[in-house]
């Protein structure tokens, strides 16, 4: 195991009990290969961290912006979606400390690894909350996640790609896009879907994701690019 002091420095939190931080970086696959390991994997901490993250982001948006509920929901989704959390996780070099099976460790650039990185960040938030309380968890989220909000709003990164593609398809050619699952792989807790987006019967683009919704969104983003409808 790597020196956790460096990870604490990366995330800006000194733990009272490092067991919580260790558990936050343990993937299920590691336990499968090391059943004697003294701690559990990070999925329960991820469950807690997800709730803490959503509460703090929601409270921040409610306090700071008088915008309609729909806009606030879109902004929140842009902040807490898997791609954004995986990016932040990588910036904090959390991937250097993840405890996984040998097979998972070799798979560095897949969608599944992005999913693992996002979950680890949420698990770390859960661990911070348990070890340090809500105030420090809020500080961590503000410094590392909420700081992206102004850019998201300014660049309109919160606009849902599926809605955007549907509006443009209806406006330009009078067709409503349809989506079809082309393949799925992996265990239930880490399944990856491949989805195609069609205009009439023509396949425009494909996308992958750890949920059907995520795969559809990825397909819609690529379809906008393929049709040159981004502007």
Which residues are annotated binding-site positions for Mg(2+)? Answer: 46, 119, 122
Give the residue ranges of the annotated binding site.
46, 119, 122
Token readout for 18 is 């490092």
Please, what's the b/e burial string for 73-108 (b: 16 or more CB within 10 A of its CB; e: otherwise)?
ebbbebbbebbbbbebbbebebbebbbbbeebeeee
Q: Which residues, at least 6 apart from 11, have a Cβ–Cβ distance to it below 8 Å?
A: 92, 94, 124, 128, 140, 144
Token readout for 11 is 């995330």
Pick the catalytic residue: 3, 59, 96, 122? Answer: 122
Pick the catalytic residue: 19, 33, 40, 50? Answer: 50
- Report which of 96, 87, 80, 100 is spatially closest to residue 190, judged by C-alpha positions: 100
Residue for token pair 């003294």: 38
Contact indicator for 158, 78 with CB cutoff of 8 Å = yes
Q: Is 63 a catalytic residue?
A: no
The dihedral formed by the CA atoms of 111, 91, 217 and 223, expressed in degrees to the nearest 10: -90
Q: Is 59 a catalytic residue?
A: no
Which of the residues are catalytic?
50, 122
């Amino acid at each position: 195991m790597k020196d956790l002091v460096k990870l604490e420095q990366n995330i800006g939190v000194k733990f009272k009990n490092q067991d919580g931080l260790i558990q936050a970086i343990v993937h299920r696959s590691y336990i499968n290969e090391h059943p004697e390991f003294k701690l559990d994997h990070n999925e329960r901490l991820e469950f807690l961290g997800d709730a803490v993250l959503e509460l703090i982001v929601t409270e921040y948006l409610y306090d700071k912006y008088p915008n309609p509920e729909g806009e606030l929901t879109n902004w929140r989704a842009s902040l807490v979606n898997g791609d954004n959390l995986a990016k932040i996780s990588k910036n904090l070099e959390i991937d250097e400390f993840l405890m996984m099976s040998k097979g998972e460790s070799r798979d560095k650039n897949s969608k599944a690894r992005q999913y693992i990185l996002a979950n680890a960040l949420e698990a770390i938030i859960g661990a911070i909350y348990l070890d340090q309380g809500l105030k420090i968890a809020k500080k961590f989220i503000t410094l590392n996640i909420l700081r992206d909000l102004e850019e998201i709003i300014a660049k309109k990164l919160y606009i849902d790609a599926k809605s955007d593609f549907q509006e443009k398809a209806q406006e330009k050619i009078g067709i409503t896009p349809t989506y079809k699952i082309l393949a799925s792989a992996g265990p239930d807790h880490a399944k990856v879907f491949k989805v195609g987006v069609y205009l009439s019967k023509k396949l425009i683009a494909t996308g992958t994701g750890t949920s059907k919704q995520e795969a559809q969104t990825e397909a819609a983003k690529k379809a906008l690019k393929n049709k040159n409808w981004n502007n």
